[in-house]
Amino acid sequence: MERLVYLDNAATTPVRGEVLEAMLPYFREKFGNASSVYSLGRESKKALEEARETIASYFGAKKDEIFFTSCGSESDNWAIRGIAYANKNKGKHIITTSIEHHAVLHTCQQLEKEGFEVTYLPVDKYGVVELETLKNAVKDDTILITVMMANNEIGTIEPIKEIGAFAKEKGIVFHTDAVQAAGHIKIDVNDMNIDLMSVSGHKLGAQKGVGVLYIRKGTRIERFMQGGAQERNMRAGTENIPAIVGLAKAVEISCSSVEEENERLTALRDKLIDGILEKIPYSHLNGHRTQRLPGNCNISFDFVEGESILMLLDMKGICASSGSACTSGSLDPSHVLLATGLKHEQAHGSIRFTLGYQNTEEDVEAVLKELPPIIERLRSMSPLYDEFMKKGE
Ligand code: PLP
């Protein structure tokens, strides 16, 4: 078996060694419940509050604005429902985009069933939300704008700072899903005028099943889970101390080296994009050329099926994705690619490679060596390609 070339870091990342090391004592000797009064419990409580402080410091937040959740999806659900329910007397209109993760889209669709009104903004062909379109969508009763910081499929980075400034000027609460952006691009909640922000551990080198919701002090929001008084009585449930300690470590490592790592990954990403576009005819980059996450490369290949490419890549030890991990398995084309104007067959022929901290030049070279013959082989069996070539003659 060849070396594993893991290029699906937007789906999940391996836990960093230092993160695991930081977590281990909290499974063993320091296993106390953070609500217990004896010293074992107090030790957990101390670790919890230190983790909160660390995470806050890397995002320009205050310690008591950080709330721990079970994942990015929970953070999105809480932010949107929490704001909607707490402010329903003020208004019932929410603005989001058509390219959000399903954690946002499905939550908004559920709220529509409950009597809220939601505007799903279109995006341009690069996946960028236009500020003017957003401004025109605002109504007197708009209570929330929720726009993702960076898209999970095509990597496009949205103009969050400008959207935040506009929302602030209008007095509308602004939430951003930063699950793909946190730890990968620099974030300051004050500079970007963010009121609520979702983060997930497993996208930045921590474990799965832990997340954060940043809530700006003074924001009117309902609590999410009923039960105990954890998380300042806002989110019940015994805190997952090992996961939280690990998340803080992962945030510390990724955010403290974000600029260098950004530069390193951008160079690798561009080598991958340029190499593929140069070596494989009839291939097209999805998303913006430069306004994109440093590790994201999403390309459509005409006349072939993404799923078939994935299977052949897998046989060569290369892991990639044909859309978001949450939607692969269904045959519906990606809603994100369709929103950028791609036809169904183009969306079906797209592959996402996402680079992370553990990837090297060798991984990029492996793709550039293995992918062209795979596409050629699939096209040689494709009636569409055959037809196209005959027409061209
Ligand atoms: N938001 C975005 C943009 C994502 O990419 C994901 C996961 O893929 C989520 C939310 C959900 O995060 P989690 O897997 O932690 O629930």
Ligand 1 touching residue 155 (CB < 6 A): no
Closest among 280, 295, 237, 256 to 375, alpha carbons compared:
280
Q: Which residues contact 346 (CB under 8 A, 6 or more apart)?
A: 284, 300, 302, 337
Mutate to test the pocket of ligand 1, among 73, 78, 240 (most ligand atoms within 8 A of CB): 73
pLDDT at 367: 98
Ligand 1 touching residue 342 (CB < 6 A): no
Cα-to-centroid distance, 151 and ligand 1 (Å): 10
pLDDT at 326: 42
Please give the C-alpha separations between residue 29 and each of 21, 32, 239, 242, 243, in angstroms, as whole numbers: 13, 8, 17, 12, 15
Ligand 1 touching residue 252 (CB < 6 A): no
pTM as predicted? 0.97
What is the mean predicted confidence (pLDDT) over 123-136? 98
pLDDT at 167: 98
Ligand 1 touching residue 104 (CB < 6 A): no
What is the mean predicted confidence (pLDDT) over 207-229? 97
Active-site positions?
A: 326
pLDDT at 323: 60
Q: Could you read off the pLDDT of 51-82 as tens digits, one per residue?
A: 999 999 999 999 999 999 999 999 999 999 99
Q: How far apart are the first and last CA of the chain?
A: 42
Contact between 104 and 178 under an 8 Å Cβ cutoff? The reply is no
Spatial separation of the C-alpha atoms in residues 313 and 327, rounded to whole Å: 19
Domains parsed from the chain with CATH numbers: 17-256 (3.40.640.10), 257-392 (3.90.1150.10)
More confident residue, 345 or 220: 220
Q: How confident is the model at residue 391 (pLDDT cuts 50, 70, 90)?
A: confident
Q: How confident is the model at residue 3 (pLDDT cuts 50, 70, 90)?
A: confident
Spatial separation of the C-alpha atoms in residues 155 and 287, rounded to whole Å: 7
Q: Which atom of ligand 1 is nearest to the CA of 76?
A: 10
Q: Could you read off the pLDDT of 282-334 as tens digits, one per residue?
A: 999 999 999 999 999 999 999 999 999 999 999 999 999 996 444 445 678 89
Element housing 298 (H / E): strand 296-301
Mutate to test the pocket of ligand 1, among 9, 96, 200 (most ligand atoms within 8 A of CB): 200
Mutate to test the pocket of ligand 1, among 147, 152, 212 (most ligand atoms within 8 A of CB): 152
Element housing 371 (H / E): helix 361-380
Mean pLDDT, the chain, rounded, equals 96
What is the mean predicted confidence (pLDDT) over 188-205? 98
Q: How confident is the model at residue 248 (pLDDT cuts 50, 70, 90)?
A: very high
Spatial separation of the C-alpha atoms in residues 192 and 180, rounded to whole Å: 16
Q: Which atom of ligand 1 is nearest to the CA of 71?
A: 15
SS3 301: strand
What is the mean predicted confidence (pLDDT) over 219-229? 95
Q: Which atom of ligand 1 is nearest to the CA of 326?
A: 8
